[in-house]
């Protein structure tokens, strides 16, 4: 989906930015040649998510709107939403709280 420039023409501009040596210190990324296994690299995974978000028509909820973020996640990322084991909004909120706890422990003084 994040390679389909015919369906999502806005991606053409983003691809040209990714291919620019000025952005990645002389190491441009040819997104059209990126494979699924490349997405195990955090930078590539983050770029993929950002490209995906850019083609959605729905606005991303504001920082601090956890309920809105959970609903956004369910509508746009929870592909298993019809089954009992898919990520539900409450599960999303629990995972965010867990991550916040880890981060606060890492940066405690």
pLDDT interval class at 85 (50, 70, 90):
very low
Cα–Cα distance, 43 to 39 (Å, whole number): 8
| Whether residues 41 and 72 fall in one domain | no
| Whether residues 72 and 51 fall in one domain | no
How does DSSP classify residue 68? H
The whole-number average pLDDT for the span 74-91 is 68
- Residue 73's domain comprises 66-106
Helix and strand counts by DSSP (H, E) for the chain: 4, 0
Q: Which span out of 1-15, 64-78, 80-94 was modeled with the highest average pLDDT?
A: 64-78
Cα–Cα distance, 28 to 33 (Å, whole number): 12
What Å distances lie between residue 38 and 43, 80, 82, 94, CA to CA?
9, 23, 29, 29
**Would the pTM of this model clear 0.75, i.e. be above it?**
no
The pLDDT value given to residue 86: 47
| Whether residues 99 and 70 fall in one domain | yes
Structural domain total, the chain: 2
Task: Note whether residue 3 is domain-resident.
Answer: no
Sole residue written with tokens 């040596």: 21
Better-scored residue on pLDDT, 105 or 20: 105
Cα–Cα distance, 68 to 61 (Å, whole number): 6
Per-residue model confidence as pLDDT tens digits over 26-74: 677 888 888 999 999 998 888 888 888 888 888 889 988 998 988 888 8
């Amino acid at each position: 989906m994040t390679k389909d420039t015919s369906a999502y023409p806005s991606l053409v501009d983003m691809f040209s930015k990714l291919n620019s040596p000025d952005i990645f210190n002389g190491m441009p990324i040819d997104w059209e040649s990126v494979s699924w296994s490349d997405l195990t690299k955090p930078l590539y995974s983050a770029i993929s998510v950002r490209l995906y978000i850019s083609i959605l028509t729905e606005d991303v909820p504001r920082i601090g709107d956890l309920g809105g973020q959970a609903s956004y996640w369910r509508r746009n990322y929870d592909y298993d939403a019809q089954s009992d084991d898919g990520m539900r909004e409450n599960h999303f909120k629990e995972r965010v709280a867990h991550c916040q706890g880890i981060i606060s422990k890492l940066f405690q003084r």
